Amino acid sequence: MTTRSAPAPSTIRIGRRYRPNRLNTPYDAIVIGSGIGGMTAAACLAELGRRVVVLEQHYTAGGFTHSYARNGYEWDVGVHYIGDVGAQHTMSRRMFDFISGGELKWAAMDDHFDRIFVGDESYDLVAGPENYRAELLKNFPEEATAIDEYLRRIAIGSGMMRLLTLEKILPAPVAALVRTWRRWRSPAWVNQTTREVLESLTSNQKLIAVLTGQWGDNGLPPAQSSFIIHSLIARHYLYGGYYPVGGASRMAETIIPQIQKNGGDLFTYASVEEILMENGRAVGVRMADGHEIRAPIIISNAGVFNTFGKLLPEDMARRSGYLDKLKTVDRSMASLGMYIGLRDTAENLGLPKTNYWLYTSEDYEGSLDRFFADPDNETIPLVYISFPSAKDPAFLDKYPGRSTIEIVAPGPHEWFAQWADQPWGKRGEQYEALKEKWSQRLLERLYEHFPQLRGKIDYYELSTPLSTDYFCRYETGEIYGLDHTPERFEQRWLKPKTKIPGLYLTGQDVLTCGVAGAMMAGLATAVTAGGRDGWQLARKFFAPA
């Protein structure tokens, strides 16, 4: 069962605690936030010889890639599976190897990595393009033409992202040429909604439901999401799902040493209060303790709503037009997150290395609307269940004889807004009772598929959108930054270099959500902020393999 026994950590704290006297000034760049985008930008700039400091307000590094431990268990919060890292030549894998010095290792999930339940029926998404296609054909033999055309279109749709990324990093005149080229090359359907594209290929609603069964990975049901984000996610997982060996916190743990090259560092408990401006230029940050840190490059990984709505002085945010631009984008969905601990191994309990997506019906949009209109009486229309300890071959080393489960479901901020001003962990009985009600409903959905777990659960807790705000500073608990609508992909201001000299953006709002999407944004930001040197990175990673 267990090979080695190490004490289970009572808490996970990756990164050094911030103190002004620990700073190693002067810095070449300051990064606000230690999400994967911020860490990637910092590691890449360090590789170019820059001294970079990453400032993270949370007690541990990683943003949504952080893990936490409690009551003898450990859970990740925003890393359930990553695609495109199985083969060493893929771009995501080369990037992860680069920023982690090759220290981050990956474990493959089951071949059928995602299982989509539509009502009482279930369908598997299977790793590898041929297997994926064959499994679809097995279930929908009369839909071969639609399936093949679908596979062709997701290749084209996801390919558009390379051009969109180039547009975001190239100087304006060249970017304009690339844009013209992209628009000329793009079929009209590329940035339609996912549902529009799929309904143009087939009228089989069950097939559409299966093909869009990963919509929770970007937070917008198919009638609202851009086909570009759908294609990117579908292609990302086409060769299967992978999990970081040792858990999500291994990301920050392995990337920080790269950031520390040239005297850089990553500090936690380091809340940035304001971006300092001088003569129209971003020149540093003011910390919550009043201390000021200066650098010629300021990179914000805090998301555009925080950056322009909170960190930038208001007159600058208004004059530069960014406050108006915020009106052109929406915040993504918020969720309930359930973290479960069991006193037996995944193997003994029969927990799979497969994600379960439980949908009540193939009408994803309608069931969601009905649920939001009447949450107490409607069945939760999407419940996602993940089994991290089953996916992680190193879990039992730290937690012998134990296992974990995580559940995610839609949970709007409004349900909890009345407690938003109250301190974390002390929101009172009514809040706890509401959480308990949702916990029980989610557990019942788990038992429907894993009845053997009834009576076996040792510990559980529920996070709400207020937790997402508290730990990662997303005000309405949005879990994917901005909504991935067709309009979002037309926003040219969502790019690394802002109109404000010295200020750059990175992370999921720049390209797309997802660990790989935010990581690529980190690279794009380093390319842009690195000046001439930055193009070495671009040539290394963006040039066709």
By beta-carbon proximity to ligand FAD, the closer residue of 140 and 438 is 438
CB 92 within 8 A of CB 242: no
Cα-to-chain-centroid distance, residue 427? 27
Q: Least separation, in Å, of the C-beta of 468 and ligand FAD? A: 7
By beta-carbon proximity to ligand FAD, the closer residue of 136 and 408 is 408
Strand 52-55, strand 29-32: pairing = parallel
Q: Which residue has the tokens 């695609």?
A: 83
Q: Exposed/middle/buried for 515, CB within 10 Å: 0-12, 13-18, 19+?
A: buried
Report the C-alpha gap between 172 and 159 in whole angstroms.
21
Q: Of 310, 316, 325, 315, which is closest to residue 501 (Cα–Cα)?
A: 316
By beta-carbon proximity to ligand FAD, the closer residue of 465 and 486 is 465
Q: Least separation, in Å, of the C-beta of 256 and ligand FAD? A: 14
Q: Least separation, in Å, of the C-beta of 199 and ligand FAD? A: 27
* DSSP state letter for 82: B
Q: Least separation, in Å, of the C-beta of 426 and ligand FAD? A: 20
Q: Of 530, 510, 535, 495, which is closest to residue 168 (Cα–Cα)?
A: 495
DSSP 3-state assignment of 126?
strand
**Residue closest to ligand FAD (Cβ):** 35
Which positions touch ligand FAD (CB under 6 A)?
A: 32-38, 55-58, 63-65, 78-82, 270-272, 301-302, 306, 311, 335, 337, 408, 472-473, 479-481, 507-508, 513-516, 518
Q: Least separation, in Å, of the C-beta of 542 and ligand FAD? A: 19
Q: Least separation, in Å, of the C-beta of 271 and ligand FAD? A: 5
Residues 342, 346, 347, 349: what is their CA dihedral angle, to the nearest 10 degrees?
Answer: 40
Tokens representing 304? Answer: 């555009």
Q: Least separation, in Å, of the C-beta of 507 and ligand FAD? A: 3
DSSP 3-state assignment of 234?
helix
By beta-carbon proximity to ligand FAD, the closer residue of 64 and 504 is 64
Q: Which residue has the tokens 């409607």?
A: 378
By beta-carbon proximity to ligand FAD, the closer residue of 91 and 311 is 311
Q: Least separation, in Å, of the C-beta of 420 and ligand FAD? A: 16
Q: Of 198, 215, 212, which is closest to residue 153 (Cα–Cα)?
A: 198
By beta-carbon proximity to ligand FAD, the closer residue of 202 and 498 is 498
DSSP 3-state assignment of 395?
helix
By beta-carbon proximity to ligand FAD, the closer residue of 28 and 478 is 478
By beta-carbon proximity to ligand FAD, the closer residue of 147 and 523 is 523
